[in-house]
Chains A and B, each alone.
Chain A
Amino acid sequence: MEATLKYSETELVQLLKQRQQSAFSYLYDNYSGALLSVIVGVVADTELANDVLQEVFIKIWRQIESYDDTKGRLFTWMLNVARNASIDTVRSKGYQNSQQNQELTETTYNAGGTTHIQTDQIGLRKVVHQLKEEYKVLVELAYFQGFTQDEISKILDIPLGTVKTRLRTALIQLRTVIKQ
C-alpha cells in the first residue's frame, strides 16, 4: 500500500511541518538520489558526499518552517540547502587537509581516487562542461565554489561588470542546454 502513496508538494510540506515521520521517509525516498547528485557535483568524494547528504536532510527537516512556497518549488529550496552545505564542507579546514593528504597518497602510491566520481559527468557539472571556457570558469567559481561576484572579479582580475554580464550570459546558455 505504501508504495502507491503519492503526495503533492503542498501536502508533503504540510505533513513535514506537522513533524510526520512518514512524510520524512517519503521525502527521503523520493529526493535523496537527486540531491546526492547535486552534492557530488561539489564534493567529489562519494563517502563524504553521503555524509553531507545526511546533514542536508537533517537541515531540511529542522528548517522546513523557513521554506516559503511563494518563493519557489520545494526542490529548488532543497537544492540550495544541499549546495550551501556542500560548499561549506569543501571550504572547511578538515576537508582542505584531507585533500592535501589525498594528493600526497595519490602521487606517492598512485592508488587513490577510486571513490572519486568523474564529476564532469554528473548533473549540472555535465551541463556546465558544455559551456564555452570563459563561461565555464565563472559558473564553476560562482555555483560550485560559492564565490561572490566581487570575489570572482578579484580572483580572475576582470572588472565586476564583466563578471556580471558574462555570468548572466553563461546562465542563459545553461538554461538552453539543460532543456535539451
Chain B
Amino acid sequence: MNIDNYISSGAIESYVLGLATAQEAAEVQQLSLQYPEIKQAIADFEASLEAAAFANAITPAASSKEKLMFALQDEFVAPSITNIEPSAIVVAMDENVTTPEQKMAVVRKMNPLRFVAAASIILLIVSGGLNIYFYSKYDDFYL
C-alpha cells in the first residue's frame, strides 16, 4: 500500500479525534504496528493537538480541585499505609534466616498493621467466647 497516501487521507486525524468507526480505528492501529511512518504521523498529530489545547488552556474555578480531592478522598491509597514496609520483605527475609537470633529480628520487624489485625482477631474470639459464657449464665438464671 501507499503509505504517504494513507497518511494524507485523513484517516489518522479521524482516529485520533475519536471520529473513526471501530473498524476504521482497528485498521489504523493495525497499520501503525506495521509501518513506523504511520505510527509517527499519529504521534505528530497527537502532539500538535495537545499543544493546541495547552496553548488555549482555561483556568478552572478556584474551588474545583478542592471539590475533586474531597469527592475522591476515600479512593486514594492512604500514604501512611504505603510508607510502611511491605510484608513481602518479611517473607523474603525468612528464607535467609538460619539462627534463632535472626528469627527474632524478623519477628520484631513485623508490620505493625499485622499486630493490629492479630489483636483484633483475638479480641473477636474472646468477645465471642464471653458472649456464649454470659448467654449460658443468662439462660441458667431464667430457667
Chain A residues with a Cβ under 8 A of chain B: 18-21, 24-25, 28-29, 32-38, 40, 46-47, 50, 53-54, 57-58, 61-62, 71-73, 75-76, 79-80, 83-84, 117, 122-124, 126-127, 142-143, 149, 167-172, 174-175, 178-179
Contacts and interface: CB of A to CB of B under 8 A. Distances in A.
Interface in B21-69: 21, 29, 42-43, 45-50, 52-54, 56-61, 64-65, 67-69
A118 B9 CA distance: 32
B65 to A, nearest CB: 5
Contact of A122 (B56, B67, B76): B56
Main secondary structure of the interface of A (DSSP, over half): helix
A19 B49 contact: no
Nearest to A36: B58
Given A28-B68, A32-B64, A123-B52, 9 more contacts: A19-B77, A21-B79, A24-B68, A34-B56, A50-B64, A54-B68, A58-B72, A122-B56, A179-B48
B17 interface: yes
A80 B17 CA distance: 7
A35 B11 CA distance: 24
Interface of B: 8-11, 13-14, 16-19, 21, 29, 42-43, 45-50, 52-54, 56-61, 64-65, 67-69, 71-72, 75-77, 79, 82
Contacts of B58: 33, 36-37, 40, 46, 117, 122
What 6 pairs between A and B have smallest CB-CB spacing? Answer: A168-B10, A33-B57, A171-B13, A21-B76, A34-B53, A123-B56
Nearest to B43: A73
22 contacts: A20-B76, A25-B69, A28-B68, A33-B54, A33-B58, A34-B56, A37-B56, A40-B58, A50-B61, A58-B68, A58-B71, A62-B75, A73-B46, A75-B50, A76-B46, A80-B17, A123-B52, A123-B53, A127-B52, A168-B9, A168-B11, A171-B14
A75 B53 contact: yes
Contacts of A178: 48-49, 52
Contacts of B72: 24, 58, 61
Contacts of A83: 18
B14 to A, nearest CB: 6
Nearest to B16: A76
B64 A53 contact: yes
B68 A175 contact: no
Contacts of B76: 19-21, 24
A135 to B, nearest CB: 11
Given A61-B75, A83-B18, A76 B9 contact: no
A37 B66 CA distance: 20
